[in-house]
Every structure is written in C-alpha cells, then in structure tokens.
Amino acid sequence: MFVGSTDTKPEAATAIATIAAGVDQLSSAEFDTTDATHTASLIAGLERECRRLQAAQVELLAAVERSGVHSTDGHFSAKIMIRHHAQLSGAEAAQRQRVQRALRDLPEIAHAYRSGQIGTCQVRLISKVWSNPRVRAALPLCEQEFLFAATNLEFPDLDLFCRDWVEAVDADGAHSSAERQWRRRDIRLPQDFNGSWKLDGRLTSIDGARFNEILTSLTDAERLADIAAAQAEHGDDWRNHLARTSSQLRYDAFIKLVLSPPSGSAAAGVVTNIVIDQQSFDEQLAALCGAEPEPVIPDRIATAILSGARYCHTADGTWVNPSEVVAEALAGHVRRVVINSRGVVTDVGRRQRLFSGSPRLAAMLQSVRCYWHGCWAPASKCDIDHLVPHRDGGETTCENGKSACRFHNLLKESGYRARRRPDGTIEIIRPDGVPIPTHTSHWQQARAG
Ligand SMILES: [Zn+2]
C-alpha cells in the first residue's frame, strides 16, 4: 500500500483503524451536557458520523456485489455474505440491500447520506418508496424534492410527504390498494388454549384512522378519571398512584366501546376531520364519476406536496387514502376540511357550512402537530397558541395561531419567544435570547462528503 502516493487510494482497512482510534477516544471521553446548545451539537455531530459510517456499510455491500467475492466462500449473494460476517438479522440485511439498490438510482441522495446531511431513517424510507416498481422510474425525476424533504422535515412529515407523493404518482396502485384493503377487511378473534382471546384484524386506511381517533379519545377519558381519583387520594403525589397502565386503559376503553351502545358513549362526539386539498378532492370525485384522469407529473406533485398544496390526512397527520375519503365524505361519515393554496381553511364539513367562526379549528387543521421543534404531540391534543402573545400586540388570526401542546404552551410563559421567519418556518428563542437549534440547522451545515 502506498499511502503517500497521489494516484493510489488508501485501503479502507487503514481508515477503519483510524476510526477505531477515534471511537476509543470517544469511549473514554465524557459528554459535557451542561449547556443545551453544546449538547445539541454533540447529538448532531455524533449522529452525522454514525450516518456516514452507515453509508459506508452500504457502499461496502455495493463493492462486494461488484467484485463477486461472496461466491468465493459459497455465499449466494453479497447480502448473505454481509449478513453472515456482520451477524445481521435478515430484516437488517434486506434493508441494507434495498438502500444500496435505491441509491444506485439516486446519486444526490447517496451523496447527502455519505456527507451525513440525511440519515439512515430517511434513506430507508426513500428506499421503501423506490421499492414500489410503479413509481420507481418517477423517483429520480423528483430527487431534489425528496432531498429537500429528507433534510428539512421532521420524520413524520417526511413520511406523509412520501405517502402523498406515492398515492398521487401511483394512482392505479393507490386505488387498487384501497380496493384490496376493502376486500381484505377482517376482524378475527381466535381463542387461546388458556381461554384468553387474541384480537386480530385488518382495517382500511380510513376506518383505521377513525377507529384510532375514537379509541384514543375514550382512552383519554379513562385516563382522566384515573388521574382525578389519584389526585383526590394522594394530592401532588398522584403520578405514583395511577390505577392502570396505558395498555390497560386502552383495553378498558375498547371493551367499553364494544359493549356499550355507541350513542351513549364518548365516541358519539368524536368527529374525524379529514384535511384534503380541493384539487385532490375534485380529482378523486371526477374519477369516481368515471372521468379520464389528468396526466401525472411526478416532480410537479412533489413540489405541490412540499409547498403544502396537496395532502390528505386526518387532523393529527394520519395518512388516509383520498379515494376512500371522497367516498366516505359523500356518505357523510367524515368531515372534510378544504384548505386553499395559502394554507387557510376555507370550508369545513359536509354540512356545507362555510368556515367563519372558529379560529381554533382553523389553526389546528393547518398543522398536524405541536409547532415546538422536535415535539410530535398530535394537533387534537394541542391548544392554539398565539405565536406573538396578546400582551405584545399579537392578533387572533390564523397567521398568528399555531397548535402547541399544553407543556409547550406553558413554556411560553417562562420567557421563551416564538416568531415566524420570512420563509414561514418558526424560530423559538430561549429566555437567554439564543435561538433553539433545530435538526435543519445541523444538517444544512453538514460537511461536504
Ligand atoms: Zn409540544
């Protein structure tokens, strides 16, 4: 090996030895977590190097495949050689291979992975999109948009982006998947030898979303009852005296739901709000009426989703299939909410009531979860917060309203401030005047790979 020579690349074993020395140093070092900004950069810094190492694992798989060295020892494929020597689970090896194949078609995303700008969670999700053969050819056309989404969005929002895009680009697949889900709908209740029962089944995307909301609201009612009982008996120490675990609460809520008449239960008051843009709704409606679908332009769809012009989900961000939504809205089972291109709610509901009264619902439906960086509390669990508080001249408008969970709403009372940047994103400023770092600020400063 001629490390000094400019034409010869050093062998990777040398680099691995250098990494080992660095990791040794890291294991004996101490994490200084006294300052939040410093800690955030530690988290991001370590994550970035882990991402780059995981990208290197994928490249090693590609190199084995290219060289064919796996056949020397009788391994059927590169994946199996790697699975064996790295002691991977079958699922992990398959994930790695899928990422490797997807990245062959997506050089810019591969580069961003190698430089640590996007992570393994993001790359695996994009590979899952790629593995759908009906959208694979369209994916490289939208690589820029996927790269932007993977770098800038929180993971649940990237997930929604991918589902929306696949649904739009793979209209046949989504339609037939809705049909397939409907055909395969099933609830089973096999009994075990010990006499207990196992509930098993498969719900369609929209029935599942509705069931989930009803069960969640009933579970919350059970939990509040437990909290009230514990507070009455134990005062401030109530947290250590809750009668039931979350699983038990969910079970009790479910049994109440099944055994009690629905009209008398809390479930009767639950309205599932489906947020869908006008164009998607109209397209699906036209399709139901037998109209010829418009041609699909994948990168235009990706841009529309990223700019917030195209979506279909519940108020909490659970993805639902638009063709099901239209059918259910016609049947009056869900409440449709239409949002215009500027993200303002214009129409709520199947009763054709024009939206005018409730800024709370409008602000809630504009975002699927708490606006605080890193918080995934769903919108239905949030209050509406004034970004700029009343006392500082903040108005009660949709622009100034944002969903915030109770915890983060209260934090605003202890010196934190939030403001909307010109690009529409939100900046949160600590009491000491320093903005809270976000994942976006870390990855946009990623080193060139
Ligand atoms: Zn929150």
Domain assignment present for 251: no
Answer yes or no: do 77 and 141 share one domain: yes
CA separation, residue 234 to residues 13, 244, 370 (Å): 61, 15, 31
* C-alpha of residue 407 to centroid of ligand 1, in Å: 6
CA torsion 157→161→163→166, rounded to 10°? -170
Give the distance (Å) from ligand 1 centre to CA of residue 274: 22
CA of 365 to the centre of ligand 1 (A): 16
Gap from CA of 369 to ligand 1 centroid (Å): 8
Cα 404 to averaged position of ligand 1 atoms, centre (Å): 5
CA 377 to ligand 1 center in whole angstroms: 5
- Asked whether residue 280 is domain-assigned, the answer is yes
426: CA distance to ligand 1 center in Å? 13
Are 393 and 359 part of one and the same domain?
no
Is there a domain that residue 121 lies in?
yes
Angle in degrees, CA 112, 118, 122, rounded to 5: 125
> In this structure, what token pair is assigned to residue 272?
């599932």
75 Cα to the center of ligand 1, angstroms: 49
Residues 347 and 392 in one domain: no
Q: How many residues does the chain have?
A: 449
Asked if residue 51 and residue 86 are part of one domain, the reply reads yes
Provide φ and ψ at 2, rounded to 5°.
-115, 85
The three-class DSSP label of residue 27 is helix
pLDDT for residue 26: 95
Same domain, 431 and 337: no
Find all residues with CB under 8 Å of 66, minimum gap 6, and list them.
none
Return residues with CB closer than 5 A to ligand 1 (ion): 370, 372, 375, 377, 405, 408
Are 147 and 84 in a shared domain? yes
One domain, residues 389 and 342: no
- pLDDT tens sequence for the chain (449 residues): 444 445 577 889 999 999 999 999 999 999 999 998 899 999 999 999 999 999 999 999 999 999 999 999 889 999 999 999 999 999 999 999 999 999 999 999 999 999 999 999 999 999 999 999 989 999 999 999 999 999 988 899 899 899 989 988 887 776 677 777 888 888 888 888 777 888 989 898 888 888 998 899 899 999 999 999 999 999 888 888 999 999 999 999 998 888 765 566 565 666 677 788 888 888 887 777 777 777 788 888 888 888 777 888 887 888 888 888 777 777 666 666 666 555 555 555 433 322 234 555 555 566 778 888 888 888 878 877 777 777 777 766 666 777 888 888 888 778 888 887 776 678 888 888 888 887 777 766 544 43
Residue 350 CA to ligand 1 centre (angstroms): 30
Question: How many structural domains compose the chain?
Answer: 3
pLDDT at 447: 45
Centroid of ligand 1 to alpha carbon of 374 (angstroms) = 8
Ligand 1 centroid to residue 90 C-alpha, Å:
37
Among 137, 152, 167, identify where a domain stops: 152
Region of 245 please: left (phi>0), alpha (psi -120 to 50) or beta: beta
Count of Cβ atoms closer than 10 Å to residue 104 Cβ:
11
- State residue 364's pLDDT score: 59
Cα of 405 vs centre of ligand 1, distance in Å, is 4
| pLDDT of 335 | 67
Query: Which residue segment(s) compose the domain that 92 sits in?
Result: 35-152
12 is a domain residue = no
Domain co-membership, 341 together with 395: no
Is residue 71 a part of any domain in this protein? yes
3-state secondary structure 345-374: EEEECCCCEECCCCHHHHHHHHCCECCCCC
152, 179, 194 - which closes a domain: 152
Strand positions, DSSP E, 253-411: 273-277, 312-314, 335-339, 345-348, 353-354, 382-386, 401-405
Same-domain status, 293 and 390: no
Instruction: Please calculate the CA angle 126-130-136 and round it to the nearest 5 degrees.
Output: 140
On the CB side of 89, CA atoms within 13 Å amount to 3
Q: Where does 120-237 have alpha helices with state H?
A: 120-130, 143-152, 155-169, 171-183, 205-234
- Does residue 143 sit in the same domain as residue 39? yes
Among the candidates 136, 152, 168, a domain finishes at 152
pLDDT in the model for residue 80: 93
Q: Which amino acid belongs to residue 42?
A: L
The answer to whether the beta carbons of residues 369 and 379 sit under 8 Å apart is yes
Q: How many A from CA of 435 to the centre of ligand 1?
A: 17
Asked whether residue 173 is assigned to any structural domain, the reply reads no
189 vs 187: CA distance, rounded Å: 7
| CB-CB contact of 115 with 448 (8 Å) | yes
374 in a domain, yes or no? Answer: no
Quick one: 343 and 418 in the same domain? no
CB 378 within 8 A of CB 317: yes
Does the residue 179 lie in any domain? no
d(CA 186, CA 203): 7
- Cα radius of gyration (the chain): 25
So what's the pLDDT on residue 1?
A: 40
- Residue 205 DSSP code: H
- In the chain, helix, strand, coil percent, each to 5? 60, 10, 30
Query: How many angstroms does the Cα of residue 375 sit away from the middle of ligand 1?
Result: 5
